[in-house]
């Protein structure tokens, strides 16, 4: 079946079998491998992308369901001028160890900050509950999200 969707602001058309997930479509057909296959059943959050402004597990969305919708992946977060404050703070604080959870973690955090520019520690933890990190870097991840939020609000100077 033919699927047309907007990915990182650009319209893309692909032809895939109906049983293709959005995750496979992004990875195999559009070569956007930032979203990872961790569990493939919606538990780990490594495949998180933002679809029409909300964070979803792309392994639980069929390609056909994504048709006509707007998808934002980790590849669309940085542009030529700068990368996103979340990416910068995740790097500066050493929040990413093996890095496999990183893209999903950052995108979930982005949706949180889009909705709530000044989240409490508890709100950050609650928002990231669906993104697992086995290197157990949660403390630094939560710190990085808080710092990025402060930077985006202008409360903290970019380093």
Applying the rule CB under 8 A, the residues between 82 and 121 that interact with another protein are 82-83, 86-88, 90-103, 106, 108, 111-112
To which residue do tokens 């955090």 refer? 109
Phi, psi of 70 (to 5 degrees): -110, 125
**In Å, how far are 3, 25, 57, 79, 112 from 62, measured between CA atoms?**
10, 9, 11, 28, 24
**C-beta of residue 94 within 8 angstroms of C-beta of residue 102:** no
Could you say which residues in the range 123-142 bind another protein, by CB under 8 A? 126-135
- Residue whose CB is less far from another protein, 46 or 152: 46
Could you say which residues in the range 37-56 bind another protein, by CB under 8 A? 37-46, 48, 54-56
- Total interface residues for another protein by CB under 8 A: 75
Contact between 61 and another protein (CB under 8 A)?
A: yes
- Residue whose CB is less far from another protein, 68 or 153: 68
Return the structure tokens found at 16.
Answer: 């895939």
Closest separation in Å from C-beta 5 to another protein: 13
> What CA–CA distance (Å, rounded) separates 103 from 47?
8
- Residue whose CB is less far from another protein, 88 or 146: 88
């Amino acid at each position: 079946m033919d699927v047309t969707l907007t990915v990182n602001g650009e319209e893309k058309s692909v032809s895939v079998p109906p049983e293709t997930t959005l995750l496979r479509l992004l990875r195999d057909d559009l070569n956007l491998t930032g979203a990872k296959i961790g569990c493939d059943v919606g538990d780990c959050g490594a495949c998180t992308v933002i679809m029409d402004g909300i964070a979803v597990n792309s392994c639980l969305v069929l390609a056909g369901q994504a048709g006509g919708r707007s998808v934002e992946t980790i590849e669309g977060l940085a542009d030529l001028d700068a990368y996103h404050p979340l990416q910068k703070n995740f790097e500066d604080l050493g929040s990413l160890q093996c890095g496999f959870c990183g893209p999903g973690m950052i995108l979930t955090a982005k949706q949180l900050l889009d909705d709530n520019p000044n989240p409490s520690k508890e709100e950050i933890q609650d928002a990231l509950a669906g993104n697992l990190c086995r290197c157990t870097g949660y403390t630094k991840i939560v710190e990085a999200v808080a710092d990025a939020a402060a930077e985006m609000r202008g409360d903290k100077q970019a380093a």
